[in-house]
């Protein structure tokens, strides 16, 4: 019944000048034209061992209940992508790039999107953690969709190779795309200042002007030529 609302930046990393919370607070008067008090919360284990640790059931329940109660109005989620990364397939091209040392091997493919059935203990833990964090992001977006909230899920673009893994090939992701107000936005972060092309896909919920705003703020017309693979 109050005009106080919370926006979550999940997996935000360390607080720093130029992060999402920094800019949302700087644009506060433009965002909250109806005198709503907006609190931007950066959620990450490195910031708070309890409320930033979304692997804990109590923490998950706290934020999800906040959505259902109406005091969490939106979220940006960028769940870790290292177990999904196409860079894990770089060794396939090592014959043509001998300077590359062997990198970490693939842990998923399109037939086993949740992780290979045969993994080392370290790899299995890494996949399990990645799955858990991704599933919380999805539950958060599903919950926001059910209460007409808004949000964004960010992950690398779907690869051209149809055998490779991607969250965009999961049945639950495709189900979320059937909700009203949900759209996919493909972009290259290299056009927005990143030092490599970094093809990225956003699942946007109830943000109809986001695509146009991203295009408006491009700072380059050409993609950078550098590659992040091998670093």
Q: What is the pLDDT of residues 180-191, one digit of tens each?
A: 999 999 999 888
Backbone phi, then psi, for 43, in 5-degree steps? -105, 110
Predicted local distance difference test score (pLDDT) of residue 197: 86
Instruction: Tell me: pLDDT of 1 over 80.
Output: no
Q: Give the number of other CB atoms < 10 A from CB of residue 182.
A: 17
Predicted local distance difference test score (pLDDT) of residue 193: 86
Residue 56 exposed, middle or buried by CB count within 10 Å (0-12, 13-18, 19+)? middle
Q: Is 135 helix (H, G, I), strand (E, B) or coil?
A: helix
Helix or strand holding residue 175 (H, E): helix 171-176
Predicted local distance difference test score (pLDDT) of residue 95: 52
**For the whole model, what pTM was predicted?**
0.89
Report how far apart, in Å, the C-alpha atoms of 183 and of each of 85, 178, 180, 206 are. Answer: 22, 9, 9, 8
Q: Cα–Cα distance between 128 and 147 in angstroms, integer?
A: 29
Note the pLDDT tens digit of each residue in 148-169: 999 999 999 999 999 999 999 9
Residue 155 exposed, middle or buried by CB count within 10 Å (0-12, 13-18, 19+)? buried
- Gyration radius from the chain CA atoms: 19
Predicted local distance difference test score (pLDDT) of residue 229: 64
Do residues 219 and 192 make contact, with C-beta atoms less than 8 angstroms apart?
yes
């Amino acid at each position: 019944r109050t005009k106080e609302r919370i926006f979550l930046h999940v997996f935000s990393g360390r607080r720093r000048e130029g992060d999402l919370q920094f800019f949302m607070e700087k644009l506060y008067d433009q965002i909250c034209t109806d005198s709503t008090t907006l609190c931007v919360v950066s959620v990450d284990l490195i910031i708070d061992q309890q409320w930033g640790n979304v692997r804990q059931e109590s923490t998950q329940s706290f934020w999800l209940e906040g959505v259902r109660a109406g005091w969490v109005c939106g979220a940006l989620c960028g769940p870790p992508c290292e177990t999904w990364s196409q860079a894990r397939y770089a060794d396939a091209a090592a014959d043509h790039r001998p300077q590359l040392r062997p990198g970490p091997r693939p842990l998923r493919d399109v037939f086993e999107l949740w992780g290979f059935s045969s993994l080392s203990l370290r790899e299995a833990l890494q996949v399990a953690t990645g799955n858990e964090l991704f599933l919380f992001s999805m539950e958060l977006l599903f919950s926001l969709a059910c209460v007409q909230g808004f949000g964004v899920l960010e992950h690398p673009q779907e690869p051209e190779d149809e055998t490779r893994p991607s969250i965009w090939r999961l049945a639950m992701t495709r189900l979320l795309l059937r909700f009203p107000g949900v759209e996919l936005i493909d972009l290259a972060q290299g056009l927005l200042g990143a030092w490599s092309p970094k093809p990225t896909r956003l699942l946007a919920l109830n943000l109809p002007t986001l695509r146009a705003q991203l295009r408006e703020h491009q700072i380059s017309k050409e993609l950078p030529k550098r590659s992040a693979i091998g670093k």
